Structure 1
Amino acid sequence: MTATMKEILVVGFGGVGSIYSLIAKRSGLARVTAVARSNYDAVNQNGMHFKSSKYGDIPGWRPDRLCKSVGSAADTPYDYVILTTKALPDIIKTPTILAPLLTAPYIEKYPQPAYVILQNGLNVEVDLYHAIKALAQGEPKIIGTSLYIGTNLLAPDVVEHNGFDRPTLGIYRHNDFTTTTNSPEETVILEGIASILAKGGSTVSVVPEIQRKKFSKNFWNVAFSSLTSLTGYTLPSVFRPPPSDPSIQYEPFVAPKTAHLINEFTIPTLKAIMEELVSLARALGFPDSEDGLPSSTVESILNNTASIHVSSESTHAKLCEWRRSVGSPFLVLKPYTDSSLSFRIRLSEQWQANFEALSFVYYDALFGGYPDR
């Protein structure tokens, strides 16, 4: 028996959106409509050129349908809507981006799809949850994700992708951090999209409680992206030793005369930030286990990050540093933005957790950091 093709709408056609459009179409299980906003003209004319160590060199690739706006795509029902835009709710909220799917005539003609939020920030689902809830069409079907992927948009129609894309999927449950069993209905929703992405080549995990996975993933964003953004230095500046072979040259690296300062101040600060995050995880009810958030997370993240950036081939700046360098907004701009850093500050206040190190980082980012060093 032939499986029914699923209709998927991907909103955002940058590095992440284009890769997951490719993956969904590769599966043979879905028809893919993609909304390319800023790069529509280039992709419409040339297609997307993928330079992927995993999926190959693919010039001129196109989804089944390319649209310039969500409004122009809101003319047919979808099984899944995958949102891949950057989470900047103080600038534009998710319900505003998806408004044509949340208002008449769409809501009068078609049922609400399941929404997959491919954004790593914490609580990025909440505005969409309330917007769908207000439609009185049943409980919102929202899938939160923790995504590990190496991809960059080199040009409006050129995407670079390395060898991995690993999404973890779980149902978003509003203000519920401790339910650890998927209902039969939730399982159907999750497996529907997970099977498509897995068949397309992605390494997919489905979990019964997604918030703790997102929390763990954002250790990197909060600690390391904040460090690079506020200092203007990338991670090889913290971890990479000077070249030992005269025939191999690279920059930046840790200067021997200042290495002791990194060991005395920088590394302890990174550890302090992550240890505060572990304390907040305990307050939220995440257990000290592999199914929750183990205390060993701090050392494992620090060691894994160091192992990546000691390499002479490490050239990839953290995202916040890149956004700072091109003048784009950070994920942390105003006190009540639901982003990785500010949401943790508000959680710490709600759960009475001590956040001295993280508060320092947050307010330093809020009031400017170090635009010039």
Structure 2
Amino acid sequence: MTAQSRISHSRIDPARRALAATILSIIVMALAGWAVRTPLAAAYPLAALLLFTWIAADTLTLALIARAPGRRPPARAVLGALAGASVVVALGTPAPLRAALIETPLLAASMIALIVAHVGWATHRARRALHRTTGSAADRWQRALAEIFPPALVRLAAAELTMLHMALFRWGGPADVPADARAFGYHKHLTPMCAALLILSAIEIAVYHLLVGHWSRTAAIVMFVLSDLGFVYLIGLVKSFRFRPVLLTPDGVQVRGGLLIDQAVPLDAIASIEMGFTGEDIRDPMTLNAALLAWPNVLLRLNRPIARTARWRTRRYTAIAFRLDDPAPFVRLLK
């Protein structure tokens, strides 16, 4: 609790604070789960059950507060944390504590009531988000599911499904371009390098699978599954360069780099557009270099910093550089 309180009052980056709170919560819950499986907990199951329940509820609630210091968490978030603690206790207790839970109907009924209340309230909000929000069907479903399940888990699942769908099922067709947007590709200069990377990856998979197979069949199967999954992800990433071009929309510029980069730049934040710049401009820490495996040929200078969250860290940039296959029409239209 002390560590999470320090996190909530510090001035570290919000994304790092959320990551730290999540990691600390996992560590505390893991230690509590180990403690309730000791002989002492088996000797006093009711006391161990109550202590485990209190630790689970307290840990998830403190983690919720640590993610948004200085602000009171909404009631729905607190209810979700308590319902999550109830699920952890119900599924994570050993047999002696589970028997004690069954023999304590008041505690069991309270946990069931919390879970039912959370599911019912979240389902109502999810239905409203599904029918009253704008955007694509996938975005609406993602916002709806985020009302029921942890938003970070929903975002992770959506990213995984997007990658797998891109890799396995999209082999042609148009790029992802809204009706009111103009697309500008950047994948042509990446095609030779990406093709060479895929070929080398396939050769590497075949070689070390044969080598490991002579040592251990089990290890070979595990490596084969992991390497195949990585190869599928690599295919999805390479294909995303064509399906997710840079967009010029009525609201601004959507700088995209496949599934790696998706940064919106409002029109009123763009101070100037440059095609001639120096290496110092690109290496400046305040410049987001969105060019992939090449030198950028377009630089947007901003009149105010814009934030980007990546790798659990939020940074602000005053310039964005990227590369287009044909930058002249983009610069002309943007100007």
TM range (shorter): under 0.3
> TM-score, normalised on structure 1?
0.22
> TM-score, normalised on structure 2?
0.24
Greater gyration radius = 2
Higher helix share: 2
Higher RCO (CA-CA < 8 Å; seq separation 6+): 1
